[in-house]
Structures are given as C-alpha cells and as structure tokens.
Structure 1
Amino acid sequence: MLRARIQFSFYVTGLLLCFLATVMVLPAMVDLAFHNPDTVVFLESSLATFAVGALLAVSNRSERPPTGRAFYYLLTVVSWLALGVFASVPLALSSVKLDLVDIYFEVMSGLTTTGSTVLVGLDGLPPGLLLWRSLLQWFGGIGIIAMAMIVLPALSVGGMQLFRTESSDISGKILPRARQVATVGALVYIGLTVLCAVALRLAGMNGFDAINHAMATLATGGFSTHDASLGHFNSVAIEVVTTAFMAMAALPLIYFARFIIEGRRALARDRQVRAFLITLLAAILIVTLWNAAFNHMTLAVALRHSSFAVTSVLTDTGFVTEDFSAWGSFGTGFMFFLMFVGGCAGSTAGGIKIFRWQIMLGAVRNQLRVTLSPNLVAPLSYNGKPVDTPMLAAVQTFFFLYFLSFSVLSLAVMATGLDFLSASSAVAQAMANVGPGLGQTGGPAGNFAAVPDSAKLLLVLSMLVGRLELVTVYVVLMRDFWD
C-alpha cells in the first residue's frame, strides 16, 4: 500500500512538473521581447523540467489512485516540495547570482504566496524573472484553491470538513460535483485577476506592472516589481484599487458565484464573510484613530495608510506603502497580532482563518455558560450546521499545533542569532504567509537577504507548514504513516 501511495504521488508530481515546464515558456517569451539573454535560461529550464516530469509520469503511471486519506497527505507534501525544487532552476541559471538557500527561499515564498524576498534591486531585474516570481505566486494560488475546496475538506484538516457539506449544498443548486466547484473558484480567480490588472492599468500603472501586481494581489502574495513595493507608485488611486482587490481575494471565491445568484442574501447567510468584513473595518478604524492621534497624521492621511496596511496584513498579502513598524508600540503590536487572524477559508489568504476563530470563541462562550449553569445543554453550530465533537477537536488541534509550531520555530530562529522581535515576527509572517517582517529583517519594507541561511531554511519550513495547514505536514512525519 505504501509503495502504491509513493508511486502515484510521483506520477501526479510528474504531471505537475510538466505543467510547470510549460509555464516557464511565458517568462522566456517576455525576455525575448525585451532582448534579455535569460530567454535561453528559461527555455533550458523548461526542457529539463519537462523531461524529468515526463519520466516520473511515465515510469509511475497508474490507472487509479490508492484508496484512503494517506495518499493525499503524501501527494500534497511531495508535490509542493518538488515544484519548489524545479521552479528554482531558472533562478539558479539566471544572471542574478544567489546561493541555493536564497533561491529556494525565494521560490517557496512565491509558491506558498508568502511574498518574503531576498532579492535586492528589483527595479533593475530582468522582466522575465520578475514575471516568473509573479507566476509562481499566481499558480500557487490556484493550487491553494484546489486544496481549500477539495483536498482539505475531504481530509477533515483543522475543521475544514465543515465546508465539505457546504460544497455539496452549493453543487445541488449550481454544480454537480466538488471538482466543478473548484473549477468555478478558479474561474472567479482568473476573472478577478483580469479585472484587477485592468483597474491598475487605468489607475496609472504600466501594463507590465499591472499584470504582475494583479497576480500578486489575487494570490494574496505580495511580490512586487519594485523594492519599495506599492510605495514606489505613491498613488492614491492605485492603493484604493489594490486595497479593494486584496479584500476580495481574502473572501471565499465560491462566495462570488453565490453573490451573483443570491445577491445580498449571500452575505446574510455567511457568518465567515460578515465576520471578516467587520474585523477588517474595525481594525482599519482602530489603526486610523491611533495614527491620527499619536503619529502626527491628518485623518485623511491616517485613513489612507492605515486602510492599506491593515488590509495588506489581515489578508496576508504583504504589500507595503508605509513602514508600520514606525507607528509606535501599539501600532506595530496591533499589526503583528493581525498576522495570526487570516482571511476566509476557500480563499488564497493564509493565517488561522476567520471561521476557526469563530468556532473557538463559540466553544469558549459555551464552556463559560456551562460553568455557570452545569445542567445547560449548549450545542455549537456554524452557518446553520452543527459543529460536532470531532470537528471541534480538529479546530482545537489546529490551534494547539499552530501556536506550538510558532513557539518552537521562533526559538529555533532565535538560536540562529536573530533577536526576539525579528525571530517571532519572521516566523509569524511565514506561517501566516504574510511577507513583511519586523526588526532585523529590515521592517515591512525590508527583505530577508541578511538573515542567516539556517534561519531562512527554518522560515521555508514555516511557510510550508502554514500553507499546508500544519496537520497535512505533521501526519506525513508520523511513524504510523509509514507503517
């Protein structure tokens, strides 16, 4: 059985590598148009990746996948790691000279839609390489959509089984199968990306920047084509457009299909979307008032900078226009804690996710009520569906693993030489797939080039663990999995 799992995992990974090789042709075409010699690099990388992918697929071909959940855990981890290795090849061969650790950090940051970078001088990099970074984030986002809508609910990871029945309810009205639900999510993702690119172009970006930033926005990734991120443009119109699309990217993609069909009733039915929007608006209000009162900003300027920064961090996108580490201890601390909140399940956003916070708060409230009245029966429900004991246990396990992992990884990064603020913020942003750190990482507008290689590898692990929802990775590390 184990051999069958590994064999089919290699088969699917081979197919994914063939797809990755095809995508490499796009930056090759861009470099060709700009007469950049890296065209050859991308074409060679594409051929090599396709050859390995085809070999894996042909030599491990199987008629049907193994039964049981174990195969899907293994496939998810193996495919993500393999894609990271082969997506690194163009960077390794390009005119940009980076060591292997930096290359893998940059690529995994893209695929997990984290957006942390080790590259300096983005404004002068070859256009094909800039596009490659954006494509990694954007296609990483598509992989996340598939995971969030099909794989994680089926595996009951961290309470995601709650959305397995939700997909069935939707499919009864709109679509016949969960796979088609994911297809609708992907189409919404593509449509929003196109709309975002058009809106950014109309707001003043050139076409190349608009396409790259649109992909990074909808992937909630945050890679930019400029060292100063969105601050490079210093444009209110661009910031308004980006803020709006960052917020949309953190909503469940299937929600947009519901909204088209049901209108405002879709908002009334979805507690997660309501809670996310309320949290976003409340956080913007708090930070705006803080900046206006204590950071010598007019109300309009405070609203501009606060709304962009809060939306960027809460949605785990990571674009920057202002250094929020200069907003005082409360402002910096507030933004740090926002990293743990996250967006909605079914979106490309990272973090703990709004629905888990709602379930945990509901469980705590019920426990307090039972403590006051021991004979009280207080069932827990979410969006009209019962939250049973296994589902609650899955959410509680996720919280425990999340903060245990955060603590252990923070201590490990501190052991490499970073101070407490730098290490804890770096791990927090990596696990939540946010992007900017604090302290020795150069602040929100800085990068991770000066971080020790050992710390970078720990942060890559943090990105992967956070993006794959912890349980998926830890199950594969259990001895029982391999028995």
Structure 2
Amino acid sequence: MLDPRPVIYLIGMLALTLGALMLLPMAMDLSRDDPNWRSFALSGFATAFVGGGLAGATRNALRDGLGRRQSFLLASSLWLVLPAFAALPFMLGAPGASWTDAYFEALSGMTTTGTTVFVGLDDMPRGVLLWRSILQWLGGLGIVVVALVFLPVLRVGGMQHFQSEGFDTLGKVMPRVYDISLALLQVYLALTLAAIIAFMAFGMSGFDALNHGLTTAATGGFSTTDQSFAIYTGPLEYVAVVFMVLSGLPFIRLIQLMGGQPKALLQDVQVRAFLRWIAYAVGVIVAYRLATQDGSFHDILRGTLFNVVTLFTGTGYGSEDVSAWGDFPLMVVMLVGFIGACTASTGCSIKVFRFLVLFEAIKLRMRQLGSPHQVVALRLGGKRLEEDVVSSVIVMFTAFAAIFAALTAALALTGLDTRTALTAAWTAICNIGPAFGPEVGPTGAVDQFPTISKWLMILGMYLGRLEVLAVLVLFFPRFWRG
C-alpha cells in the first residue's frame, strides 16, 4: 500500500509556508490602517497551525524520500489542498466571499488561470489584490518545478518528453534536483524583478507594477483593476508582451541562456514554432481587422499583438473586447489558446511541443501510407522521439478533447448560453482567464454563474493545470496497488 505520510509532511510544510506568506498582505493593509489586516492575521495563523501540525505529526516520513506514486499524489494534491487555505482571507475579510467563490478565486490564482469571480477590484483592500498576485506567482513557480522535477522522472503522461528532449540536456549541467530547483527559482525571480522594474519605468505605479510583475511572470493575468490592462494601452502593452513571451519559453532554455548558452534557446524547435505561430496568428487577425474595421494600422497591430500573446501564453490580461473583433478572430484566438505556450514554462494548455509531435506523427503516417515497407524513425528537431513519448502525446490530446467536450456539455446543462459554456470550458481547462458570452459580466467576471457552473470550472482548471493525465492516473486501482 502507498504510504501517504511523506505527502502529508510536504503538504504540511507548504501550508506552513503559505501561512507565513499571508504576513505580506497583512503588512500591506496594516501600513494603510485598513482593518482587513485581521483577516490575513487569522487566516495565516490557522493555516500555519494546521500545516505545522501535519508536518510535525509526520516529521520523519521523508527519511526514505518520495516514491513514484507518492510524487504523483503530491503533485495532484497540492492544487486541491493549498487553495483551500489560500481562500480563507477572501471569506474572513474583504470581499466576504462565499466558500465557492473564495475557493474558485484561490484555485484560479494558483492554477494561474486568472478567471475571477470578484468585482469592484478598484476598491478592494490592497492586501487582497496583493494576495491574489502572490497566489499566481506561487502557482507559476510550482507548475514549472513539477514539470521539470517530478513528472519527467516518472516517464508518464504528457511530460515524458523531457526525459528525451530537455531534461537530459539540463541534467548534464546540473544533475541534482536541488540544483535544478534553485536555478529555476533564480530565473523566475530575475524575470519577475525585471518585469516589475520595466513596468515602473514605463509609467505604472509601484504597487501596480509589483502586482503585474508577479502575474506576468506567472502568466496568470490577475490585475489590480476591473479594467484589466485596458488602462495601460500604449508602450506598457509592448512591455507586457515581451515578458509574457519570455515566461512562455521553456525555463530550461532560460537557465541555459543565463548560463551563457544562447544557442540552445535559438535552436530549440519548440521556441521557433512558438514565435512563428504567434506571428501567424497576429498577421491573420490584423489583416482581417484592417479589412473589416476602422482604425489606424498601429492601434490595430498593438491591440492584436497584446491580446493574441496574452491568450497564447494563457496570461489572460485584456486590453480590448476580443469577441467584438468578429467570429473569425475569436476562432483564431481560441485556437491559439488551445495550443498554449512552450512546455516547462509557466504557460498553460496543451503546449507547442505536443502539437509538433502530433504533426510529425501525422506526416510520418502519411509517408508510410505511400511507402508501407519503408522504416522511418520519428524525429523532432533532429532528435529521435521514443514511442512512449508519441503515444503519451496522442493520449493527452484524446483525454483533453474528451474532457473539454464533456465540460462544455455540462456547463450548457447548467443553463449557460452556448457561447458562454464553450468559452468557459475553454478558459478553464486551458487555464487562460477570459470567457465570453451574455452571462459574463462587463468586467469579465463570472460572478453571476450558477454555483454548479463555478464548480465545473474549478474541476476544469484543476485538470488543465495538471495536464489531465497526472490526475486521471490516480483513478486506476493498479496505481494504488503499486
């Protein structure tokens, strides 16, 4: 039987850390004489108390390390348990949310989805706004660590390819997991600090720059205003585009870039495809908008570039109403949302790498139909793809499509308009942020959704963030038997 104590210990330690981090928004509200600081003080104490108790009760559990099944259980449990603690300040203080809304907001933050049920952000206590941004920043870091440390070693699900494509390259430089995690943290911190400084340099206030720096590096999309990025049109959009693209690149390559190896980034087939597909999507939509809408070329280009990149990377900021561009541009942005950023980035969705693998598998199959006796190895970027990598990618596509269809149907059955149900399922499972439809509020909030719709979106966000298969494997009895 699986021993859950190491998992409980690590969750306890992380809950203890989460409780300590609540001191930051508490201090923010205290500095402004905002009585909302008490909600963070009480929530932080409760979270740290429970986390410390769990860690203390299982303090010797990690003596033999984590096993394969325990690693899976840990990765799948974190994004369920920690948001429950993170939601406490939203219920005990402003905005006085229900359990459903508080958990929705916390999970949306920690999965870096960015869909919100809160309205009136402009009048929220600053501690609440900062806490939302911190949750997204933690979620962005967490998913990269899981992607590069836990799942590649296990060789299951859609993350297998790191064993053959990226993880081995990184391992030659830093073979120990500790070194990998430390390097990831350094790159993530550098990216976050650079974004904060750049936002301030181009006119954002210090507080807004701090929050947007945190959520841009995490490709999360929470903002400090109901208008999202619409009040920052101009040069700040270009600044955000730069950092969203950087955050959507494989962190392995960013580590190598900081280590003086730019060649690895420039030659990465996934990176080249990511940048090329962004250019294609922007070019097609700009051409369509110029032909059908009034406006200057520069304004249309800037707005299209920003909103395509924010949806491609799953950041979810909005500076314009994308649905107002027309049905064709909306289809294009939904497609890029399904593609997502690069694997091992803070980005979301299916990921560029898996699409490249799928395309190569289709091309190989077409060649084999013409020459059935020819034996050709499947390659990507000059490297051979193992059969288990290809099969896991195909399984990932199948599971993703099936869950998206089921989630769309379930949301429609709750009474949502067809467009709302479709885009709500899309934004949840792809961890993007915005939804479109008559039930979506003017600020983009989904606060008017039925409670059951919110819980369906919670399920979609959870499955999408852990890339479906890492969760589904837990439902197989063989997993628990070992």
Per-residue deviation at 1:443?
A: 7.3
Percentage of pairs with the same residue: 37
- Residue in structure 1 matched with residue 13 of structure 2 by the alignment: 15
Aligned-partner residue type, residue 299 of structure 2? V
In structure 2, how many angstroms separate the alpha carbons of the residues matched to 1:456 and 1:247? 30
Q: Please identify, of 447-456 and 284-293, the stretch whose mean Cα deviation from structure 2 is larger.
A: 284-293
Aligned-partner residue type, residue 423 of structure 1? A
- Residue in structure 2 matched with residue 278 of structure 1 by the alignment: 276
- Residue in structure 2 matched with residue 124 of structure 1 by the alignment: 123
- Residue in structure 2 matched with residue 239 of structure 1 by the alignment: 237
Unaligned runs of 5+ in 1: none
In structure 1, how many angstroms separate the alpha carbons of the residues matched to 2:359 and 2:104? 35
Q: Verify the 8 A CA contact 1:441 1:447 in the aligned structure 2.
A: no
In structure 2, how many angstroms separate the alpha carbons of the residues matched to 1:124 and 1:177? 46
One of 450, 453, 457 as aligned partner of 2:451: 453
Per-residue deviation at 1:269?
A: 2.5
Unaligned runs of 5+ in 2: none
Aligned-partner residue type, residue 169 of structure 1? T
One of 53, 56, 68 as aligned partner of 2:54: 56
Seen in structure 2, the aligned counterparts of structure 1 residues 260 and 55 have a Cα distance that, compared at 3 Å, is closer
- Residue in structure 1 matched with residue 146 of structure 2 by the alignment: 147
The equivalences for 1:63-74 within 5 A come to 63-65=62-64, 68-74=67-73
Seen in structure 2, the aligned counterparts of structure 1 residues 67 and 449 have a Cα distance that, compared at 3 Å, is closer
- Residue in structure 1 matched with residue 359 of structure 2 by the alignment: 361
- Residue in structure 2 matched with residue 134 of structure 1 by the alignment: 133
Seen in structure 2, the aligned counterparts of structure 1 residues 444 and 292 have a Cα distance that, compared at 3 Å, is farther
In structure 2, how many angstroms separate the alpha carbons of the residues matched to 1:135 and 1:445? 22
* Deviation sequence 1:229-268 (CA, Å, 0-9, x none): 01023x3111110111111110012212323445552244
- Residue in structure 1 matched with residue 194 of structure 2 by the alignment: 195
Q: Verify the 8 A CA contact 2:244 2:310 in the aligned structure 1.
A: yes
The equivalences for 1:436-451 within 5 A come to 436-442=434-440, 445-451=443-449
In structure 2, how many angstroms separate the alpha carbons of the residues matched to 1:208 and 1:18? 26
Q: Verify the 8 A CA contact 2:157 2:470 in the aligned structure 1.
A: no
Aligned length: 479
- Residue in structure 1 matched with residue 327 of structure 2 by the alignment: 329
Q: 1:64 aligns to what SS in structure 2? A: helix
- Residue in structure 2 matched with residue 253 of structure 1 by the alignment: 251
Q: Please identify, of 404-413 and 62-71, the stretch whose mean Cα deviation from structure 2 is larger.
A: 62-71
One of 297, 301, 304 as aligned partner of 2:302: 304
Seen in structure 2, the aligned counterparts of structure 1 residues 44 and 261 have a Cα distance that, compared at 3 Å, is closer
Q: 1:446 aligns to what SS in structure 2? A: coil
Aligned-partner residue type, residue 171 of structure 2? S
Aligned-partner residue type, residue 80 of structure 1? W
Do structure 1's residue 169 and structure 2's residue 163 form an aligned pair?
Answer: no
- Residue in structure 2 matched with residue 435 of structure 1 by the alignment: 433
- Residue in structure 1 matched with residue 203 of structure 2 by the alignment: 204
Aligned-partner residue type, residue 169 of structure 2? D
Aligned-partner residue type, residue 20 of structure 1? L
Do structure 1's residue 392 and structure 2's residue 401 form an aligned pair?
Answer: no
Aligned-partner residue type, residue 43 of structure 2? S
* Deviation sequence 1:145-191 (CA, Å, 0-9, x none): 1111111212224342221343232332x323233123212211110
Per-residue deviation at 1:43?
A: 1.1
- Residue in structure 1 matched with residue 155 of structure 2 by the alignment: 156
In structure 1, how many angstroms separate the alpha carbons of the residues matched to 2:210 and 2:148? 26
Q: Verify the 8 A CA contact 1:84 1:107 in the aligned structure 2.
A: yes
- Residue in structure 2 matched with residue 346 of structure 1 by the alignment: 344
- Residue in structure 1 matched with residue 106 of structure 2 by the alignment: 107
Aligned-partner residue type, residue 437 of structure 1? A
Length-normalised TM-score, structure 2: 0.96
Seen in structure 2, the aligned counterparts of structure 1 residues 330 and 65 have a Cα distance that, compared at 3 Å, is farther
* Deviation sequence 1:367-419 (CA, Å, 0-9, x none): 00100111121211233332122111111110110000101111111110112
Per-residue deviation at 1:41?
A: 1.2
Q: 1:131 aligns to what SS in structure 2? A: helix
Output the aligned Cα RMSD.
1.5
Length-normalised TM-score, structure 1: 0.96
Q: 1:439 aligns to what SS in structure 2? A: coil
Aligned-partner residue type, residue 146 of structure 1? V
Q: Please identify, of 449-458 and 418-427, the stretch whose mean Cα deviation from structure 2 is larger.
A: 418-427
